[in-house]
Amino acid sequence: MAEAVADIGLIGLAVMGQNLILNMNDHGFTVCAYNRTTSKVDAFLENEAKGTNIVGAHSVQELCAKLKRPRKVVLLVKAGSAVDAFIDQLLPYMEEGDIIIDGGNSHFPDSIRRTEELQKKGILFVGSGVSGGEEGARYGPSLMPGGNPAAWESIKPIFQAIAAKADGEPCCDWVGETGAGHYVKMVHNEYGDMQLISEVYQIMHEGLDLTHDEMAEVFTEWNKGDLDSFLIEITRDILKYKDEDGSALVTKIRDTAGQKGTGKWTGIDSLDRGIPVTLIGEAVYARCLSSLKDERVRASKILEGPKNKKYSGDKKAFVDQLGQALYAAKIVSYAQGFMLMRQAAKDNNWKLNNAGIALMWRGGCIIRSAFLGKIKDAYTNNPELENLLFDPFFQEATAKAQDAWRNVIAQAVILGIPTPALSTALNFYDGLRHEMLPANLLQAQRDYFGAHTYERLDAPGTWVHTNWTGKGGRVAASTYDA
């Protein structure tokens, strides 16, 4: 029988698993490593893990035998059936109170199911979002654990030690019950931020004729202010990067965007819950449109655009307005994300800690930014905040930026440059701040053609049908929302 020497076990020795193990080792935890293909355990111990306290196992049984109690096992394997397969393999060697943590990119309904199924067996399941890629895993990821709350006390010291730190605080806290960790990880995605930055790039490149070095300068400046973030920083570096012939490498990259699904999942989930997360939706569709390259090439030859394709005003002033538009649209994007999480929390009985979530995203992950500190402040000041845009700081920030934001979109429309995310953000903002929307007409139309009934403003709760043409009958359709 192997001696129980390890504080925690980890299964899955690909890029994330290996780096997370090394990170835990750096923080003084003894980790036992295991992988389906066991030759990778030996290779890891002989190379990357050489000279460390890391130990290995060649079977799930050996792994469990080497773990101190309660046993804690992190899975960092391909999401889906591999996670279920490992849970099944672990169960015979675990006992009540032991903990299984899935750190892969699992879809949150799977984590809800796993938490509930394992709870019945006395095993504590944690579905944890892990963000930050290879470097994050190695030197400090953003960690978003959720699942069975009874597991938190045992894993907290390890998770908070290895997580990224923002202003000295760990970018890791308990998110909520069952699938909350993986849900928050799903909503936390870079699609909106990346699309907004890309639109601003296209306006500067196509409409203002700025060189890539000039654009890099703009991003350098932006990174010193409100927009200070990882994505602005890497965009600056990308714009500066030269190919062998001295031209900007980015201009040689085929303009078809890939996607791995988290944006799409968020979009679908927002439709299911009836929450307008329009920035993610537009960002996903923009990637879809980008991948229709051949069709776009044909369209570019036959579909007419505006005659005037270049901005003729003060470029420097316009670049300043672009920065303001980017900031305001980003605020709307995060407001929408928090609206979605608020609804999901209601639907699933999760008590989400919004300030904690903002802090978890503040460092270690792709969307990390100084701006998330402001979101943390907003939810710390008012944990019950209905909408991020209602917070005085963000209310003022959007009010200050709105003239610039409107002008940027107006100019982009005139020049024929697409701005799906910048525009949808402004449309959302204008929609939200309208007490009255034209849905009254829409309801009248629905009642006209389908006898769907409508509610009268002067008699709330009273649903009536009007015989609009004088020819219809008295019978109305039943009232329900699909």
Binding residues for substrate: 105, 131-133, 188-189, 191, 260, 287, 446, 452
Q: Are 163 and 170 in contact (CB under 8 A)?
A: yes
Q: Are 173 and 359 in contact (CB under 8 A)?
A: yes
- Closer CB to ligand NBP, 18 or 354, in the complex: 18
- Closer CB to ligand NBP, 10 or 426, in the complex: 10
- Quick check: is 190 catalytic? yes
Q: Which of 401, 245, 411, 423 is nearest to 324 (CA)?
A: 401
- Cβ-defined contacts of 47-56 (< 8 Å, 24+): 48/18, 48/22, 49/21, 49/22, 49/25, 52/22, 52/25, 53/25, 54/21, 54/22, 54/25, 54/30, 55/5, 55/6, 55/30, 55/31, 56/32
Residues in the chain: 482
Q: Are 126 and 155 in contact (CB under 8 A)?
A: yes
Question: 29: which 2 tokens?
Answer: 């935890």
- Closer CB to ligand NBP, 41 or 329, in the complex: 41
Per the annotation, where are the binding residues for NADP(+)?
Answer: 12-17, 35-37, 77-79, 105
Least distance from C-beta 87 to ligand NBP, angstroms?
11
**Chain positions contacting ligand NBP, by CB under 6 A:** 12-17, 35-37, 40, 76-79, 82, 85, 104-105, 130-131, 133-134
Q: Are 364 and 223 in contact (CB under 8 A)?
A: no
- Closer CB to ligand NBP, 129 or 207, in the complex: 129
* CA–CA gap between residue 74 and residue 159 (Å, rounded): 11
Least distance from C-beta 62 to ligand NBP, angstroms?
16
Sign of CA dihedral 103, 106, 110, 112: positive
- Quick check: is 120 catalytic? no
Question: Could you tell me whether strands 72-75 and 8-11 are parallel, antiparallel, or unpaired per DSSP bridges?
Answer: parallel
* CA–CA gap between residue 329 and residue 404 (Å, rounded): 11
- Closer CB to ligand NBP, 92 or 473, in the complex: 92
Least distance from C-beta 127 to ligand NBP, angstroms?
11
* CA–CA gap between residue 111 and residue 343 (Å, rounded): 18
Least distance from C-beta 104 to ligand NBP, angstroms?
3
190, 206, 217, 233: which is the annotated catalytic residue? 190
40, 66, 72, 185: which is the annotated catalytic residue? 185
Burial (CB < 10 A; 0-12, 13-18, 19+), residue 13, is: buried
Least distance from C-beta 400 to ligand NBP, angstroms?
36
Q: Which residues are catalytic?
A: 185, 190
